[in-house]
Structure 1
Amino acid sequence: MNSLAVPFLRIFWRCVGSWRWWRSLATNSTLAFGIVSGVVQLLLALWPNIEASRIVLFLSMVVSALAFGVVRAAPRREVSRSLGRPDVTVVVKVGDLFDESSHLIIGFNDTFDTDTSGDLVISRSSVQGQFLARIYSGDTGCLDAELSDALLGVEKKGREARSQKRAGKLTRYPVGSVAVLTRGARRYFCSAYGRMGNDLTVSSSVDDLWHSLANIWRAVEVFGRREPVAMPIIGSEMARIDHADREILIRMILLSFVSRSRERLISKRLTIVVHPNDANQLDMLEMDAFLKVL
């Protein structure tokens, strides 16, 4: 099966279980049936001698109306909304974060670990692992050097002993710290929104995420030149904010961004990119409805 069709089917089946999908189907089908009925009545009034089976005609009208309703209610891979004040567009889409041409927000932990060898400290399949592989071509030394330079002005929170933390970096920074990296014309906002435990598992909380988002927007405002920025659903995987599903996390991100944007414009476009493997956990109709009330 086409790889692009898989996430769409996942979204479709998730939407079919949503009352919004059924309401949209009913509303659009009823509207279409009314329009088709009006057209048929007009045709019969103009050409009364038309011979047609009433049953066939009725079934054709029903099928046409349902087909229109299904098309209109079909889930999308992308939903968006443009806000008048401020002049900002927010987008939620299924895709590959690294295909975006905008600045990127990348989630890190408070030690800014980068080692992906053996998937012990950082998983190669994570956004951070892909960031190392696809932006830095797997050059851990280069990424570490640039992170160190970007964090020079950030006060360190402490340092672990190697006997306590068996792998990875030892210096800790406050949760919410942001290291801004530049590669060509693009900026990468590396946010420490979780704490790396000495057992090499990352933990975070809603409060940590909210605080980190505020610091991210501050950094984007200063270094982003109001240009578009894209990010994944931070907090959804390795950070273990288990009591908040992806939809809740997306809503948090959007509320934080829009709230800050109403105070001062920080970026003209924010795109939240959902990995195709997570598409079945997201109801795009619900997301669309949420965007409309922002």
Structure 2
Amino acid sequence: MSIARDFTKRRFWTRFATQTLASIGFFAIFAGVTDALFPDLLPPVGKVIAVAVAALSLGFGLYQSWPRPVQMNYSSPNTEIHVVEGDLFEQEGNVVIGMTTTFDTEIPHVIDELGVQAQLLTRIYRNDNRALDDALCAALEDHPVARRFKPEDRKQGKQIAYPLGAVATIMPAVRKLYFCVAYTEMNNRNEARGSVDGIWRSLNNVWDEVRAKGNGDPISIAVIGGGQARISQYFPAQDSIRFIALSYMFASRKEKIASRLNIVVEKRAVRNLDMLELQAFLKSLRPS
């Protein structure tokens, strides 16, 4: 993930100034004590020492504030969280796929062809709608039905809706699970609507499923809340990442979910993120 943009953030320069001044203060105290004990020692080399202190302090400040990959290791629970720029479907381990309560797969009239669930169809199932629908149907067999659309609803696509937060676990490849979670509700006009509360409950459900079936393998999830959920106006990517991480850590403290969580960000969204702030947030999730 590119770190050059972090140099334009106020957080970087604030931390750089703080660490540099702290280093200068340390050397100043050391020099003051040395001068008090050995008054004739410093004056002959005073200018050289001043230049050395300035260089060392600037170097220390830069080292301490230098942008790094956004990730954090935790000991309780024993897990990691990484914020990754890239492709959700190229990550190691299992994958969370955000879907609607109808688990529709038809593109482009019902499902956005650029969305994650459309990519599940086109890239993993090679546009085989029937194979994907059969896998979802089998996975949802024991789930209660929340609603059956009527002919007068004139809904395109699937006619059965499951409860918000329902999880369908499918395995189109060996040792790679896809946890399809309904975090938005679909109406008869094929409009998907989501809420912060609904996404929180859906995440809790999917973490339970990952814990039960994921064998502790890494799990990857895309930034959620925009697109079809239609809540990006008050749930932007920066907040979505914090939201996912917080939900994961709360659930992990009850019982370990996975060895690592990858929160995957598309390249077009990365430029709007404050990576230093995200790193500080992940650090704050460590037990006090």
- Whether TM-score is above 0.5 comes out as yes
Deviation at 1:281, TM superposition (A): 2.2
Map 1:53-72 → 2, pairs under 5 A: 69=61
Separation in structure 2 between the aligned mates of residue 152 and residue 31 of structure 1, nearest angstrom: 62
1:69: Cα distance to partner? Answer: 5.0
Unpaired stretches in structure 2, ≥5 consecutive residues? 31-40
User: Residue 132 of structure 1 corresponds to which residue in structure 2?
Assistant: 121
- Structure 1 distance, partners of 2:169, 2:105, is 15
> CA 1:33–1:95 in structure 2 vs 1: closer, same or farther (change >3 Å)?
farther
1:193 maps to what in 2?
183
Alignment of structure 1 residues 91-106 onto 2, 5 Å: 91-106=82-97
Q: Could you say if the C-alpha distance between residues 180 and 61 of structure 1 is closer, same or farther in structure 2, counting changes exceeding 3 Å?
A: same
Are positions 1:143 and 2:132 aligned together?
yes
Instruction: Give distance in 2, aligned partners of 1:249 and 1:16.
Output: 22
Q: Are residue 245 (structure 1) and residue 236 (structure 2) matched?
A: yes
Go from structure 1 to structure 2 and tell me whether the alpha carbon gap of 1:68 and 1:121 turns closer, same or farther (over 3 Å shift). Answer: farther
What is the alpha-carbon distance in structure 1 between the residues aligned to residue 155 and residue 187 of structure 2? 11
1:235 equivalent to 2:249? Answer: no
Matched, 1:208 2:198: yes
CA deviation after TM superposition for structure 1 residue 101, in Å: 1.5
Which of the numbers 227, 244, 267 marks the counterpart of 1:276? 267
- Amino acid in structure 1 at the alignment position of 2:220: A
TM-superposed deviation, 1:199: 2.2
RMSD: 2.9
CA distance in 2, matches of 1:230, 1:26: 36
CA contact (8 A) 1:162 1:170 kept: no
* Gaps in structure 1 of 5+ consecutive residues: 39-44
What is the SS of the residue equivalent to 1:89?
strand
Residue 200 (structure 1) shift: 2.1
Question: The residue matched to 1:238 in structure 2 has which SS?
Answer: helix
Task: Find runs of 4+ consecutive structure 1 residues off by over 3 angstroms.
Answer: 27-38, 60-76
Distance 1:75 1:161, change over 3 A: farther
Residue pair 1:165, 1:200 contacting (<8 A) in 2 also: no
- Give the stretch that moved more between structures: 187-196 or 21-30: 21-30
Secondary structure in 1 matching 2:142: coil
Helix, strand or coil at the partner of 1:106: strand
Shift of 1:205: 0.4
Aligned length: 272
> 1:202: how far off?
1.1
In the alignment, which residue of structure 2 is the partner of 1:42? none
Q: Compute the displacement of 1:255 (Å).
A: 1.5
Shift of 1:191: 0.3
* Identity in percent: 35
Sort the Cα spacing of 1:198 and 1:16 in 2 relative to 1 into closer, same or farther, 3 A.
same
Aligned to 2:109: 120
Confirm whether residue 22 of structure 1 aligns to residue 13 of structure 2: yes
The answer to whether the 8 Å contact 1:192/1:212 transfers is yes
